[in-house]
Chains A and B, each alone.
Chain A
């Protein structure tokens, strides 16, 4: 077995950060090599250099022993390198076959020769048990199948080095299992696979060798059999992880927010939240666990009025409503930390102080009869920067120029300074470094301790386990079970995430 791919001292510098510094990596033929690191450790940048989407500022790439220059994805494909992107690079309006042959010369150029391609794709699909119809439009396929189309795309080009970028992020546990089987079959046939991930279990289950990246540099390189998750975790973050929060027995207040038989159907007609009832008391955190895309976001958005719901009702502090207005909800004392700070949380080109009043700009003292009180807004900005340790020269800086952690702190400051009775937080620490993550989680706990009802949606089970008082596991729009934190084992929660009802796991436990 030889080395099919070697990266030597790869360095990539962006205007403000060094994304990769002197990164070395060797991929052996027929093996699975894991590139492990936290979000922002520089994994994706490294792979984009390898795939020709970026060009490295320093270092060399060798493929099968020969130094190569990869200027674009075309070069990478010619070298037999294929990438399965985290965000699928599929054109939804095209068919599977069209997506796969896109960019390739056909045998009858310029004739498309779709029939021949469809035949070949079908054969490939059968070989790996993909069950794909080449004539289907990609947009009609479920996520797991779309990923297989991505893999087929690479196989069709006869790549023998496959890069899988955060391949399990959007999959259900079952789909993950299927994917693992596929990867093992690929390596058995002599193909080499590089997986990029931040999930330890994935590394342990699948890889032969691990390279750990931290802050753009290699923090370690070991055979998987010679290591364990704790050691890898330490390499990843550079210190002991798993910060513990002080456990506190809270006096529950009355129910602050409640849903009754809530049903949300999205624009495509898919039921996202199905007949869901829940209650959250003041002084508790209800953590909603689940694989991404099982209706958690829709639940959060429905109870804040962001999206309409079709059936059922939401009761906020005793007032029952079947239709919500966002501003009205906020005025009832609800605060909302939306899931995507760039997309929905901040107006990036605007300044910190302007973003800090985005929700309450129309209220006194920030403004009066529609005209801003400039001084108040300025002072508020300075105050929040100090209180929330936002690292910025002043409150007039556009939020775009700040790091992810500082951006998230602005949202926290904006939403928490209103002292909400109900806090809805969706993926509040996604993409943040350890320090910022800890800060965010502490703030959630502070809110609970202050007596607020907190709904936390997170796909990081670790986060849920750390801060929640109760845990609800959501699968296809329904709660598979609601348990007190500590009452269910991780494997039980895992089963529920995969769609097994708690009542079927053991015949005890009452769902509130």
Chain B
């Protein structure tokens, strides 16, 4: 067993896992903000899908990966705006809106892929992000090199996002408004905090992070887009938030856990370990459910998932 562990838990494995975790962290940091304002956003997968596609398309047509990122963020801001308009202004059911956004995004990305790039998409490559060119000495560090210094910029953005969001939540006036709106919107409103504004901004932010996350999927390494590229990662990001009890650090750890599970799955398949590779992927979902049960119902923001009606009697 110890031997087996040494085959699995290598620096390469941890580096891969961190890479797998990156889009999850980015999406979860966006999601945790809007969830904390009380909007249940299951539409992250759609946002990521649009982000992945527009990053690829933007990068392909402009020839610049950074332009791809910019276009991804802008596209996802629009999706975030649509989400906010439907759930906040029109007070529509948040789950229904998310289901519609996911379906729409899937349709839009696949359709545009075919109409813009024709049917033979397999060979298309856009400019993408390479690993950061750290000094060779750092890259060659035993263990730390492969884990920390052979990564793309997105990994570092993701790692920085976690303390940043933590700081916003607990050390800034914005965070106080966000938390209050999620727990008790009416109280926030009476204190002069606009629930509508806070929820709009949070969903726009979630959109922007979804865009980054999507870009981290499509234009790092593969540099292409394939149908349903997110494969439910937006939902996993949501699970990470639940796992982390709506706390940014917890959500980040959740994303790492899912990343490790994915790394483990890859490892099992490449090393040829006699165990179904599905088991490690299923594991984090089960853990999250168990945690939910252990935490009970009190651990979610009190106003979560319930629409807020401005001045309805």
Contact = CB atoms under 8 A, between A and B. Distances in A.
Q: Is there direct touching of A and B in the complex, by C-beta distance under 8 Å? A: yes
B193 A102 contact: yes
A91 B186 CA distance: 9
B180 interface: yes
Contact of B176 (A72, A73, A92, A101): A101
Given A53-B311, A92-B183, A85 B190 contact: yes
Given A73-B192, A89-B184, 6 more contacts: A53-B311, A92-B183, A92-B302, A98-B179, A104-B173, A110-B174
B172 interface: yes
B189 interface: yes
Contacts of A243: none
Given A91-B183, A92-B183, A93-B179, A111 B171 contact: yes
Contact of B188 (A53, A77, A88, A102): A102
B313 interface: yes
Given A77-B192, A103-B192, A89 B174 contact: no
A103 B179 contact: no
A90 B190 contact: no
A91 B172 contact: no
Main secondary structure on B side of the interface with A = helix
A89 B191 contact: yes
A98 B176 contact: yes
A70 to B, nearest CB: 12
B174 A91 contact: no
Given A72-B192, A102-B191, A103-B192, A110 B172 contact: yes
Interface in A37-90: 51, 53-54, 72-74, 77, 83, 85, 88-90
Interface residues of A, number: 30
Report which residue of B175, B183, B191, B313 has the largest number of chain A beta carbons within 10 angstroms of its beta carbon: B191
Interface string A193-230: 00000000000000000000000000000000000000
A174 interface: no
A91 B179 CA distance: 9
Contacts of A106: 173
A72 B298 CA distance: 31
A89 B187 contact: yes
A153 B193 CA distance: 14
B184 A91 contact: yes
B180 A73 contact: no
Nearest to A76: B192
B102 interface: no
B192 to A, nearest CB: 4
A322 B201 CA distance: 54
Contacts of B188: 91, 102-103
Given A72-B192, A73-B191, A103-B193, A92 B173 contact: no
B301 to A, nearest CB: 8
A55 to B, nearest CB: 8
Nearest to A48: B311
Interface string A97-133: 0110111111001111000000000000000000000
B190 A53 contact: yes
Contacts of A92: 183-184, 302
A103 B174 contact: no
Residue from A92, A99, A105, A110 with most neighbouring chain B CB atoms (10 Å): A110
| 3 shortest interchain CB distances as A-B pairs | A103-B191, A74-B192, A89-B187
B189 A105 contact: no
Interface of A: 14, 51, 53-54, 72-74, 77, 83, 85, 88-94, 98-99, 101-106, 109-112, 153
Contacts of B302: 92-93
B75 interface: no
16 contacts: A54-B311, A74-B192, A77-B192, A88-B187, A89-B186, A89-B190, A89-B191, A91-B187, A92-B184, A101-B176, A106-B173, A109-B173, A110-B172, A111-B172, A112-B176, A153-B191
Contact of B180 (A72, A77, A88, A102): A102
Give the one of A51, A85, A93 with max B CB within 10 A. Answer: A93
A90 B173 contact: no
Nearest to B172: A110
Contacts of A111: 171-173
Contacts of B179: 91, 93-94, 98
B223 interface: no
B17 interface: no
B41 interface: no
B303 to A, nearest CB: 9
A137 to B, nearest CB: 11
Given A53-B311, A91-B179, A91-B180, A73 B173 contact: no
B191 to A, nearest CB: 4
Contacts of A105: 173
Nearest to A87: B186
Contacts of A93: 179, 183, 301-302
Nearest to A105: B173
Interface string B282-293: 000000000000
